């Protein structure tokens, strides 16, 4: 599952408020990123992917990935010519990784640290 476009960070409190209906009681958003019109959220319980579909974006698919399902992940930092960083996440039972591209303004090391914190539990 690869979503195309570049991500940039958004305020976790804003994502918490906007997607409150998706969150469990007491669940907290620790980091959130906007990918064109899709959203990636790291909560204290899971990784949430909000995939807006169609021309209008009214149809939306929500992917809830428990951190325990993540078998491993990789980050690729931005280079001199390639200014974007990439995140790849492999899930148990799936050979192809989920791939996300982040703009130069996103600290990919922060993204990696968030995953490390939750996946290593």
Single pTM value for the model: 0.82
pLDDT in tens, the chain (121 residues): 444 455 678 999 999 999 999 999 999 999 999 877 788 999 999 999 998 887 776 889 999 999 999 999 998 887 666 667 888 999 999 999 998 887 777 888 888 898 999 888 7
Q: Rounded to an integer, what distance in angstroms lies between the CA atom of residue 9 and that of residue 85?
A: 13
Q: Give the residue among 121, 98, 96, 100 at the shortest CA–CA distance from 32.
A: 100
pLDDT at 100: 83
pLDDT at 108: 84
pLDDT at 106: 80
Residues 6+ apart with CB under 8 A from 36: 4, 5, 6
Q: Give the residue among 38, 58, 36 at the shortest CA–CA distance from 48.
A: 38
């Amino acid at each position: 599952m690869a979503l195309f476009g570049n991500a940039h960070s958004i305020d976790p409190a804003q994502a918490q408020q906007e997607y409150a209906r998706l969150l469990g009681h007491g669940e907290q958003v620790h980091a959130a990123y906007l990918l064109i019109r899709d959203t990636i959220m790291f909560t204290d319980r899971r990784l949430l992917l909000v995939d807006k579909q169609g021309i209008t974006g009214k149809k939306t698919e929500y992917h809830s990935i428990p951190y325990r399902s993540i078998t491993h992940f990789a980050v690729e930092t931005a280079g001199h010519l390639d200014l974007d960083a990439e995140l790849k996440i492999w899930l148990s039972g799936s050979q192809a990784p989920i791939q996300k591209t982040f703009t130069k303004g996103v600290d990919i090391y922060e993204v990696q640290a968030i995953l490390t914190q939750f996946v290593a539990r």
